[in-house]
Amino acid sequence: MKILVIGGGGREHALCWKLAGEGHELFCAPGNPGIAEVAVCNQIKINDRKGLLDWAKEVQAELVVVGPEDPLISGMADMFRENGFLVFGPGQDAARLEGSKAFSKDMMKRAGVPTARHQVFSDPGAAKEFAAQLCASDEGVVIKASGAALGKGVVVCDDFEHAEIVIEEMLVGGIMGDAGRTIVVEERLRGKEFSLLTLVSRSQIRSLPVAQDYKRIGDGDTGLNTGGMGSYSPVNWVSDDLVAQVEEEVVKPILASLAELDIDFRGVLFSGLMLVGEHPYCLEYNVRFGDPEIQTIVSRLGDGFAEALLACAKGEAIPEISVQNNAACTVVVASGGYPGEYEKGNKISVKSVPDSVTHFHAGTANSGGDLVTAGGRVIAVCGVGSDLESAREHAYAGVDGVSFSGKQFRSDIAK
Ligand SMILES: Nc1ncnc2c1ncn2[C@@H]1O[C@H](COP(=O)(O)OP(=O)(O)OP(=O)(O)O)[C@@H](O)[C@H]1O
Ligand SMILES: [Mg+2]
């Protein structure tokens, strides 16, 4: 099958690597130097809708997979569908689950999905009043910019004084721009976080193996939040029963509520969860594969991934995907300074690696024949093994083989 993947980061490299490995012919725009090893890349800008559509026609793509959230939120899947393509990725309506936290929370409430108590505000006075109310019964409160804010729009506040400042900054100061003109003020939950990625074909679902991710930059979960610094799978504390419970309480009800509004979901639903006592609460939905969770997940899947994505695109029953009896660990190698300011254009050298290690490129580029850094997260190194310990060893051996000036990574992934 000819498959066109839209995007050019670590997630898209993992998708192309897996799909090419199943014997399909891969095309990717804009791609990156790592993706170019497994797919034909064409550096069309992601906002060049016409250019992407023309190329999809030219290569006669039989399946289009839209990777990142931004194009999904702005309706790229709809554009391809309207032009007769089979697309894995929700349309603009369904992508509001990620693009608008106000919409998402209201849908959760309507669907009866367990989630933190909340209200939506654009008036600072009313927002502060509700925040004060929540702070009176618990320590802290969470303030969220409603719009897509590159993972920087959520602030967990320890007390009302902090919440007041954040509300003021977002609603009056406008520091999040339009994304923060509407905010969600919600109850602060405490528990252990995990996420579940579920393939969705209308009302039919199939969850992928659970992978635990690491959001903070520093060892021991310290320092600033990032796009994700590593992941591993399997996760022993998330049982099959818990996954089934999340499917029943968090995934199926939201899809049913979307269906009531005539919204059809064909893609992947990422449920961000917190286990409070024994009860899973939904913190958020995303509408794309998690990065770097998907690098770990595809390294554990057997055959049938492409067929499953195609079935979702068609709205048909999703065939089973086998899962190998192995473990995988992904460690992100990032630029010095990330998630703050960082240098670009530093020369990267990558030593050749055994089969148990894969380098998924995220922020890399070619410059005058050299591979150079081009983003905060540079390469996600995934190791596989018969158990987590060996997967971890392989991943870190692969990390050692990557060098560039300013290289940083967490040393405690899957520890
Ligand atoms: N109600 C809550 N109680 C406690 N912590 C919360 C709550 N809501 C969010 N958080 C914390 O904030 C983080 C980010 O929240 P959320 O996932 O909604 O934001 P996001 O910016 O959309 O994240 P992502 O980039 O993963 O999509 C969560 O992973 C969690 O650690
Ligand atoms: Mg999100």
Mutate to test the pocket of ligand 1, among 274, 276, 287 (most ligand atoms within 8 A of CB): 274
Question: What is d(CA 274, CA 380) in angstroms, rounded to the nearest whole number?
Answer: 25
Q: How many A from CA of 404 to the centre of ligand 2? A: 30
Q: Is the CB of 143 under 6 A from ligand 1?
A: no
pTM score above 0.75:
yes
Q: Are 188 and 156 in contact (CB under 8 A)?
A: yes
Cβ neighbours of residue 301 closer than 8 Å, sequence gap 6 or more = 18, 208, 209, 321, 322, 323, 324
Query: Which CA distances in Å does 166 have to 16, 128, 139, 161, 259?
Result: 40, 10, 16, 9, 35
The enclosing H or E element of 363 equals: none
Q: How many A from CA of 27 to the centre of ligand 1? A: 33
* Ordered domains of the chain (ranges, CATH): 2-89 (3.40.50.20), 123-181 (3.30.1490), 192-314 (3.30.470.20), 327-403 (3.90.600.10)
Q: Write down the number of H helices and E strands in the chain.
A: 13, 22
Closest residue to atom 28 of ligand 1, CA basis: 283
The parts of the chain modelled with pLDDT lower than 70 are: none
Query: Which CA distances in Å does 115 have to 83, 92, 303?
Result: 38, 23, 35
**273: helix, strand or coil:** strand
Q: How many A from CA of 325 to the centre of ligand 2? A: 30
Q: Is the CB of 159 under 6 A from ligand 1?
A: no
Give residue-wise pLDDT tens across range 302-360: 999 999 999 999 999 999 999 999 999 999 999 999 999 999 999 999 998 899 999 99
The dihedrals phi and psi of 263, each to the nearest 5 degrees, come to: -105, 125
Q: Is the CB of 116 under 6 A from ligand 1?
A: yes
Q: How many A from CA of 385 to the centre of ligand 2? A: 30
| pLDDT at res. 303 | 92
Atom of ligand 1 nearest to the CA of 98: 22
Buried b / exposed e across 136-170, counting CB within 10 Å, b at 16+?
eeeebbbbbbbbbbeeebbbebeebebbbebbebb
Q: Is the CB of 286 under 6 A from ligand 1?
A: yes
Please give the mean pLDDT across all residues of the chain.
97
Q: Are 122 and 181 in contact (CB under 8 A)?
A: yes
Question: What is d(CA 322, CA 231) in angstroms, rounded to the nearest whole number?
Answer: 20
| pLDDT at res. 138 | 80
Q: Is the CB of 157 under 6 A from ligand 1?
A: no
Closest residue to atom 14 of ligand 1, CA basis: 154
Q: Which residues pair with 66 in a beta bridge?
A: 6
